[in-house]
Structure 1
Amino acid sequence: MKSLTLYSEQNTIIHKINPMDKIMYIVVSILIPIIIPKITVGLIYLSISIFILLIGKVFKKVIPLLGFSSILLFSIILIQGLFKADNITPIFSVGNFIFYKEGLFYALKICIRVLNILCSFSILILT
C-alpha cells in the first residue's frame, strides 16, 4: 500500500539535509525579507529557494502550486494597485481605473513574500 505523502524519494544532497535545518531555513527565509523590506532581499531568498528546489529535483512538483496561487497573487496586484490608501503616483490607466506606483510596489512585495513562503515550505515537504 502506497502512503499518502508529498515526499519525493531522490538521492540528492538536499534530501540528506536534516529536517530541523530545513525548518531553520524556512524561518530565516521568511523573517529576513520581513525585517529588511526591500524587494531585492525578497528576490534573493526566492531565488535561493528555487535553486534549492532545482538541486533537489522537485521544482516540477511546485509548479502547479505556484500556478494555483497565481490567481490569488493577481488579485492582490489588482486590488493594491487600484485601492491602496496611500496611492499617489499614477503609472497607467485602463478606462476609469488608475494603477498607482505605490500600490503596485506594495503588491509586488507581498507576492514575492508569498512565493518565497510557498517555495520554502516546499523544500521541507518535498525533500
Structure 2
Amino acid sequence: MVLLFQQNFQEHKLVRQELTKVYGINKFLAHQICDSLGFALTLKVQDLTASQKEKLVRLVQRYYVTGSDLKRIVDQDIQRCVTVGSFKGFRFIQGLPVRGQRSHTNARSCRKKKIV
C-alpha cells in the first residue's frame, strides 16, 4: 500500500483507477492528470518512481481542490445559503431535494426524519 493524499492506494491497481479514491477527483480528472504527467494507461501504483509521485502530488495540490478542503468549501456554500435565507437554504434545512426535483412521489429517502 502506498499512502498518497491521505489515502491508501493498492499497489497492484492502475494509477488512474486509484486516483478516483481521492475526494474530488473523478474518472475524467484522473485521466486528465495522468495524461498531463505523461503516465501510460497501464501504469500501476507500484511502478511509480519517487519523482513521479512527487510530481503527481505537486500537480494535484497546485491545480485541484480535494479532500477536506473541498468538503469545507461545500459545507461553507451550504451554510451561506442557509444564513442568507434563500429557498435553497430552506430546502437544505428541511432535508428535501434542493435542485427542483419532484418530491410528491419520489425522494422518500430525502424526506425521512433524520435522527440527530
Structure number with the bigger relative contact order (C-alpha 8 A, sep ≥ 6) is 1
Length-normalised TM-score, structure 1: 0.24
Q: Higher Cα Rg: structure 1 or 2?
A: 2
Higher helix share: 1
Q: TM-score, normalised by structure 2?
A: 0.26
